[in-house]
Chain A
Amino acid sequence: GAGVSQSPRYKVAKRGQDVALRCDPISGHVSLFWYQQALGQGPEFLTYFQNEAQLDKSGLPSDRFFAERPEGSVSTLKIQRTQKEDSAVYLCASSSPWGTDTQYFGPGTRLTVL
């Protein structure tokens, strides 16, 4: 596709439920990033893939958060046993792997945990 797409755009979950958020990066982009953006805040880094390799997961807030990109294209961010504080917009971005190449962001998935 022409840009980064994410699904679903909106997700409402009851506390304790598991959720899975999908990201389709720009075709050919080997780098993929996940960010969490709380209301009125800037995005905060969660994790980064280069192809299928997860090179940095230092931003994942707890072991309830898990991300994968098994074939080096589509990525899934999974949150287990969701908590209210997980409510946020989850942004995915992709870029070419080197230097100062710009990250292209998807529209985000707005997660609301009740």
Chain B
Amino acid sequence: KNQVEQSPQSLIILEGKNCTLQCNYTVSPFSNLRWYKQDTGRGPVSLTIMTFSENTKSNGRYTATLDADTKQSSLHITASQLSDSASYICVVSPGGGSQGNLIFGKGTKLSVKP
């Protein structure tokens, strides 16, 4: 069964610290992997998207990595800010079929404290 597992489920860090969120997937075939940020009461917003051949991609203080062999991805947040408090969702596209049938993880809820 196609699944996306994220860890930790929740995380509390102090402002200015770094953190890394993990995503493991069993989706096959694989087309691409995306990280979204979802603020409370808002829709998800894309941070990064990576295809099979990409190992790392950065977007400001966010850096995503992808190991397609081990089917693992991580999202590293550098010098966290209070506005980073949100849920971070890993999304995998199985490809080969409906473009809409993305597989979403349950998200990691990040709280950045002053």
Q: Interface on A for B, CB 8 Å cutoff?
A: 4, 31, 33, 35, 40-45, 47-48, 50, 55-56, 58-59, 91, 93, 95, 97, 100, 102-108
Contacts and interface: CB of A to CB of B under 8 A. Distances in A.
The listed residue with most B CB atoms (<10 A of its CB), out of A4, A56, A97, A106, is A56
Nearest to A38: B106
A45 to B, nearest CB: 5
Given A100-B49, A102-B49, A45 B43 contact: no
Contacts of A108: 41-43
Given A100-B51, A102-B49, A106-B43, A45 B102 contact: yes
Contacts of B32: 100
Given A42-B106, A100-B31, A31 B43 contact: no
Given A42-B105, A93-B43, A103-B102, 20 more contacts: A35-B104, A40-B106, A41-B106, A42-B4, A42-B89, A44-B104, A45-B101, A47-B100, A50-B99, A56-B97, A56-B98, A58-B98, A59-B101, A100-B51, A102-B46, A105-B36, A105-B43, A105-B44, A106-B43, A107-B42
Contacts of B44: 43, 91, 105
B87 to A, nearest CB: 9
Interface of B: 4, 31-32, 34, 36, 41-46, 49, 51, 89, 91, 93, 97-102, 104-107
Closest 5 CB pairs of A and B: A48-B100, A105-B43, A42-B104, A56-B98, A102-B46
A48 B99 contact: yes
A55 B105 contact: no
Contacts of A40: 106
Contacts of B93: 100
Contacts of B91: 42
A101 to B, nearest CB: 9
A50 B107 CA distance: 28
